[in-house]
Amino acid sequence: AEPQLEAEFEAIVGHKDRIEPRDWMPEAYRKTLIRQVAQHAHSEIIGMQPEGNWIGRAPSLRRKAILLAKVQDEAGHGLYLYSAAETLGTSRNELTELLIAGKQKYSSIFNYPTLSYTDVGTIGWLVDGAAICNQVPLCRTSFGPYGRAMIRICKEESFHQRQGFELLMTMMRGTQEQRDMVQESVNRFWWPALMMFGPPDDASPNTEQSMAWGIKTHTNDELRQKFVDMSVPQAEALGVTFPDPELKWNAERGHYDFGTPDWDEFWDVVKGNGPCNAQRLAHRKRAWDEGAWVREAALAFAAKESKENHA
């Protein structure tokens, strides 16, 4: 029956229809999806840390409420994504254990520090902006639960991007010192934001197969270019520049040309040697260990309830 099932799978993917959890799928497809969705979920959860760093020090009650809501949204995104991964036959506990053991990845961007409150605005604008660029096409990814989770996540990410831009715009209308803070923050985050899209296409081992399966619908370089094209006019509106002397409109291509990210730095961060990797994982592990009693209590309560219901 396998060739028949495989032909059905190929037909669904070929028509850009959805594969659902109960459908037959090649083991390698399942494995790739678990890898990507788990990494994505871990990124949302680890991504709470850099911004969470400023909740207690936000400059006003209004800014604190916004930041708190935003960080809570990221937790929600992590949970939708772990649920999508669970439909592939894995569990959130299992995936979290793999993350903590350093056997699964999360986005490189969250291994950079947030040195000033301004970074909250820059992360919203550039990091969530890059996330949207990458994730809007994923709303049409071939695995149903992943694509449907993306729809809501993208709506919330758009709000996050706007709040970041608005925060920076407010600072740009302030004093020279505030404007300098915005530029300094943008200088630090620009290149790491470009690295979020992954290695260049000729160094991306997964892209070709993931595109053939409809998991990815664009290459890393295509999305990076789209992000640069989208960000330059926004930087002009804000009154900041990007730290790239090669950034220039190319009328022939109809796109901005831009310089090459430091790929040695990227791989170093991916391998665990970025400025904050150790700190981020240690914090995640501490939270996981300290939450063990809550998970145990919830399980014991559920077991008791089901026993009573069956009595």
In the complex with ligand ACO, the residue whose CB is nearer, 122 or 134, is 134
In the complex with ligand ACO, the residue whose CB is nearer, 39 or 53, is 39
Assess 225 for contact with ligand ACO (CB under 6 A). no
Assess 206 for contact with ligand ACO (CB under 6 A). yes
Assess 134 for contact with ligand ACO (CB under 6 A). yes
Q: Could you give the CA distance from residue 60 to residue 50 in angstroms, rounded to a whole number?
A: 19
Smallest distance from ligand ACO to CB 297, Å = 30
Assess 126 for contact with ligand ACO (CB under 6 A). no
Smallest distance from ligand ACO to CB 77, Å = 7
Question: Interface residues for ligand ACO in 170-199 (CB under 6 A)?
Answer: 195-199
DSSP 216: -
Only one of the segments 7-15, 91-99, 141-149, 206-214 lies at the binding site for ligand ACO (rule: CB under 6 A); that segment is: 206-214
Q: Which of 13, 25, 29, 36 lies at the binding interface for ligand ACO (CB under 6 A)?
A: 36
Assess 107 for contact with ligand ACO (CB under 6 A). yes
Assess 118 for contact with ligand ACO (CB under 6 A). no
In the complex with ligand ACO, the residue whose CB is nearer, 90 or 178, is 90
Residue 117: strand, helix, or coil = coil
Q: Which of 114, 142, 161, 220 lies at the binding interface for ligand ACO (CB under 6 A)?
A: 220
Q: Quick one: three-class SS letters along the chain? A: CHHHHHHHHHHHHHCCCCECCCCCCCHHHHHHHHHHHHHHHHHHHHCHHHHHCCHHHCCCHHHHHHHHHHHHHHHHHHHHHHHHHHCCCCCHHHHHHHHHCCCCCCCHHHHCCCCCCHHHHHHHHHHHHHHHHHHCHHHHCCEHHHHHHHHHHHHHHHHHHHHHHHHHHHHHCCCHHHHHHHHHHHHHHHHHHHHCCCCCHHHCCCHHHHHHCCCCCCCHHHHHHHHHHHHHHHHHHHCCCCCCCCCEEECCCCEEECCCCCHHHHHHHHHHHCCCHHHHHHHHHHHHHHCHHHHHHHHHHHHHHHHHHHC
Q: Do 131 and 70 form a contact (C-beta atoms < 8 A)?
A: no
Smallest distance from ligand ACO to CB 222, Å = 11
Q: Which of 44, 51, 73, 119 lies at the binding interface for ligand ACO (CB under 6 A)?
A: 44
Q: Give counts: helices (H), strands (E), the chain.
A: 14, 2
Assess 218 for contact with ligand ACO (CB under 6 A). no
Question: Interface residues for ligand ACO in 135-174 (CB under 6 A)?
Answer: none
Backbone angles phi, psi at 241, to 5 degrees: -120, 160
Count, residues near ligand ACO per rule CB under 6 A = 25
Assess 207 for contact with ligand ACO (CB under 6 A). yes
In the complex with ligand ACO, the residue whose CB is nearer, 9 or 80, is 80
Assess 35 for contact with ligand ACO (CB under 6 A). yes
- Contact residues: ligand ACO, CB under 6 A: 35-36, 39-40, 43-44, 47, 105, 107-108, 131, 134, 195-199, 204-207, 210, 216, 220, 270
